[in-house]
Structures are given as C-alpha cells and as structure tokens.
Amino acid sequence: MHNLTTLIKGELQRLQKYNVTLISLIVTLIWVALLYFIDDTQVFLMLLPLVIIIDVTMMSIMYTGAVMYFEKSENTMLSILVTPVSHKDIIISKIIANVIHQTISTLLVVLAFILIKDLSVSWIIVLLMMLSIGFHTLLGFVFTYTAKDFTTMLTNFMFVMIVFATPSILVYVNVIQANDLINYLLLISPIEQATVMISSAFTQTYDVMFFMSIVLMIAYFALIYRWYVLPKFSSYVQKGSGV
C-alpha cells in the first residue's frame, strides 16, 4: 500500500512536470468560456453533458498517451525495470493518478455552472466520471502499446474515436433518430456507455441502459486490464528501454 501511494504521488508530480495539469486547466477554462456564452437553455443543457463526455473519454486517453511517451523519451521506463514494485502497482498508480487529475479538472466545469447558472445535477456524476476516466485511461495504455510514436498514437486514436464516437454524438444531439435496437447496439461502444451514464446523471433518469452501461464498462475494464494491458506492460517497458 505504501508503494502504491508513493507511485501515485510520483505520477501526479509527473503530470505537473509535463505540463499536463496546466493544459488540463486551460482546456477547462475554454470549456467554461464556451458554455458561458450560450444563452439558449436547451442548447446549454445539451452541450454541457457532451463537454463532460469528451473530457472524461477523449482527453483521458490523450493525457495518458502523452505522459507515457514523455516517460519513454526521458528513458524513465529503464528505471521501472529495476524498481522493487510490481507492474500491477505501476499501472494502477497511473490509472488512479489520472482519475484524480481528470476528475478534478472536469468537476471544475460542473461546479462553475452550478455557481453561475444555478445548475442542478446529481452528485452521482462524480462516481460516473471516475469510472469512465479510469476505463479510458486504460484505453490510453492500449493506444500507446500499439503505436510506435506519439504521432501514430494520435492518428490511431482519432480514427477510432471518429468511428465509435460519431454515431453516439449524432444520436445524442438528435441528428439521427435511433430505435431501441440501434441504441442497444451502440451500447457496445465505451463512448456510448459514457454518454448514457453522464447524460443520465444530468437528467436524473436511471433506466436499464444506464445500468447496462455501468456493467459493460466495468466488464470491459476487467477484461482489457487482465488480458491485455497487464500482460503487455513488460514487453512495452523493455521495448521503450531498448532491452
């Protein structure tokens, strides 16, 4: 437990060192400024959850990839090979640190509009954000493992996000009218799961799809962590260290 706490502190310090925390704060200010000038209540209530969804999914993946590539460029991975901690602790510490960092960042957007526009929202959104951030941080590992450099990682990430996020966003903003079958098929996508969970927290309507989203995301997390991220971590570290 002591090792894990130390690793989490180290990960949070690296987020500051690589200016990820600063960039995250700037992005938060941009979101707040963008939403603040929207006077139409219906448009605002539609866009705010969408901003939160983008923040906890896409930004979580990008921040994770950025930190891991900064570590690789500084040969930090070489020291990992000789540290007296398990790969499991290293992965979990990265996930927890990113959850803390990204939850605070995203929550600032929600808090801003609770104060500015007297917004009412269920605080279950905090738990939902943490779950979604944790899972998409894990996806950040997947994208990093499968790319030779940061540019390739971003290219792969954008392609996958366009494929999986576009249908969910189009249905969410009512550009496409989806029936129940399409909605359940879309639920296979983690982006759709996050969309259902976050939007439900704002509307405070918790239906079958809401609970299915939670179960599926937890199941995805367990499977990807157990069968891909953890087993592949050793080879990723050795590759990044030139071993």
pLDDT tens digits along 58-116: 999 999 999 998 888 877 766 766 767 888 999 999 999 999 999 999 999 988 888 88
Domain positions in the chain: 2-241
Q: What is the pLDDT of residues 168-207, one digit of tens each?
A: 988 988 888 888 888 899 999 999 999 999 999 888 888 9
Residue 243 pLDDT: 44
Check whether 242 has a pLDDT greater than 70.
Answer: no
What is the C-alpha separation between 114 and 108, in angstroms, rounded? Answer: 10
Per the CB < 8 A criterion, the answer to whether 91 and 229 are in contact is: yes
Residue 80 pLDDT: 64
Check whether 51 has a pLDDT greater than 60.
Answer: yes
Residue 135 pLDDT: 97
What is the C-alpha separation between 28 and 112, in angstroms, rounded? Answer: 10
When pLDDT is cut at 50, 70 and 90, the band that residue 213 belongs to is very high
Check whether 11 has a pLDDT greater than 60.
Answer: yes
The mean predicted confidence, pLDDT, of the chain is 88
What is the C-alpha separation between 200 and 206, in angstroms, rounded? Answer: 6
Residue 76 pLDDT: 74
Residue 187's SS3 state is coil
Q: Which of 89, 82, 86, 84 is nearest to 243 (CA)?
A: 82
pLDDT higher at 175 or 134 = 134
The helix-helix angle for 124-145 and 190-203 (nearest 10°) equals 170
